[in-house]
Amino acid sequence: MRGPALSSALAALLAAHGCRSEALIPELSFGHSGRLIPEDGPAGRIPHFAVSGQPWQPELLSNKVILTPVAPGNMRGAVWAEAPLERSVWTAEVEFRATGAERGGGNLNVWLAAQGARAVGSNSIYTVGKFDGLALVVDSHGGAGGMVRGFLNDGSVDFKQQSSVDRLAFGHCAYAYRNLGRPSVLRLRQSHDSFRLDVDGHACFETDKVSVPSGYHWGVTAATPDNPDSFELFKLVVSSDSTVSSGADKAEHHHAAAAAAAHHEHEAPQKQSQPPPPPPPDEPAAHFKTSQAQFEDLHNRLQGLMHHVSGAWAAVTELQRQAEQRHGETAAALDGLRRARDDAGDVPQRLRELEREVRAMRSDINAKLAAHHDSLQGYLTDHHATLAGTVARAVPGHGRLILVFVGSQLLLVAAYVVYKRRRASSPKKYL
């Protein structure tokens, strides 16, 4: 009798530990019970949430909050969680409805942002400025029937100063959300390796490049122009793994917190690190004569088995955490080695390029020197060939000088002869 009972209990216990059901986070959720304000809660206020708007407060009803009414236009409304999301793996559902005139407009924004209402307030993605976190925007973008887009910011980009925020979206899908006559459902899910958005049960986009850290606040805002739509918010439900405590994400790198997060939810963290109690001694079947004794024995053995399984689960979780941490460190080291290898791989290429440049420079210098040598040699050859003739032509001649000297002497002799003859033929005067 005890064998089948123990087997069934063990199977149920292992199934309870093996499955990871998601549990509601009540301080981050409203509307999941069909009412926004509990019957025993404060009137005119959503527990754990702050409602604000411009120029006046949104209308709060029993099952919905009207962020922006049908009239007048230029309204803003916001609902922000007062507590941050202390999980890294979570699922969130937003149920809303948009109704209005044929050419009505406006936008609904779902935020998971640092500092929540203090940083974003009732702004939309077009007027928010700088923020740190995630934003999902539902509007009639580009004149189409409707679109859902996702945006990320680390606080460095001022969205208000952007001429067009379209290029900043990391994911989008078309969705005609206006005047459907029923609520629309946005389902966001973040796991350890992906981020996914479903709209009305259909996949919108999914990426493994996005992971929003813990400690951010949930919020929903809506804004309308002159011709407005009415945005009604029915619920915001945030859930996460039931085996993870609220502070486990912050202390995920500490051994004790990791073991506490993996333990059974009814066991205290101090009991996890304690060794399980020794199993009850074996007794023959005849010893258990009453059903009460059989039940006590079964209870003790199941309790001991649960302690053993819980301890094994905590040890496996710790080993898994250490393995993931070492895997991350190894991956980071490998990335560093790859970058260093890539940088080192560029050195031979750069050396070859430098060698080619030096060779080209040497060839150019040799060619220019050879051309200059040939030009100088040709010039000197021509200069030597014409040097003798040039010197001969440049030396002044003595023939004219001699001719002038001889001619002048002949003129003097001729003049003297003429003088003597005239004197000899002239009459003589006697006294």
CATH of the domain at 153: 2.60.120.200
> Which of 345, 366, 389 finishes a domain?
345
265-314 pLDDT, tens digit per residue, is: 334 344 344 555 565 666 666 666 677 777 887 888 888 888 889 889 88
Residues 231 and 263 grouped into a single domain: no
> Which of 290, 315, 345 finishes a domain?
345
Residues 323 and 217 grouped into a single domain: no
410 in a domain, yes or no?
Answer: no
Residue 235 belongs to domain spanning = 20-241
**Number of structural domains, the chain?**
2
Residues 157 and 278 grouped into a single domain: no
Residues 178 and 268 grouped into a single domain: no
319 in a domain, yes or no?
Answer: yes
Predicted confidence (pLDDT) at residue 387 exceeds the cutoff of 50 = yes
* Residue 55: cis peptide before it, omega within 30 degrees of 0: yes
Residues 227 and 146 grouped into a single domain: yes
392 in a domain, yes or no?
Answer: no
Alpha-carbon gap, residue 385 to 359, rounded angstroms: 39
Residues 219 and 327 grouped into a single domain: no
158: closest CA among 131, 120, 135, 133?
131
Structure tokens at 384: 């030597």
Alpha-carbon gap, residue 240 to 244, rounded angstroms: 8
318-360 pLDDT, tens digit per residue, is: 999 999 899 989 988 888 888 887 777 778 888 999 999 999 9
310 in a domain, yes or no?
Answer: yes
Residues 119 and 260 grouped into a single domain: no
418 in a domain, yes or no?
Answer: no
Yes or no: say if 148 and 186 are a contact pair by the CB < 8 Å rule. Answer: yes
Best-predicted range by mean pLDDT among 18-22, 145-149, 268-272?
145-149
403 in a domain, yes or no?
Answer: no
Residues 71 and 106 grouped into a single domain: yes
Q: Which of 75-84, 292-301, 409-418 has the lowest mean pLDDT?
A: 292-301
- As a 3-state breakdown, the chain gives helix, strand, coil percent values, each rounded to 5, of 40, 25, 35
> Which of 325, 345, 365 finishes a domain?
345
Residue count (the chain): 431
Using a pLDDT cut of 90, give the percent of the chain over it: 51
356 in a domain, yes or no?
Answer: no
Residue 14 pLDDT level (bands cut at 50, 70, 90) = very low
Average pLDDT over residues 9-17: 44
Residues 222 and 300 grouped into a single domain: no
Average pLDDT over residues 10-19: 44
Residues 296 and 202 grouped into a single domain: no
414 in a domain, yes or no?
Answer: no
Name residues whose C-beta falls within 8 Å of residue 248's C-beta, 6 or more positions apart in sequence: 86, 257, 258, 260, 261
pLDDT of res. 241 = 79
Yes or no: say if 220 and 46 are a contact pair by the CB < 8 Å rule. Answer: no
Could you report how far apart the first and last alpha carbons of the chain are, in Å?
206
Average pLDDT over residues 8-28: 60
Residues 295 and 185 grouped into a single domain: no
27-70 pLDDT, tens digit per residue, is: 999 999 888 887 777 777 899 999 999 999 999 998 999 999 99
202-260 pLDDT, tens digit per residue, is: 999 999 999 999 999 999 999 999 999 999 999 999 999 744 444 444 434 333 333 33
Yes or no: say if 78 and 46 are a contact pair by the CB < 8 Å rule. Answer: no
Residues 272 and 140 grouped into a single domain: no
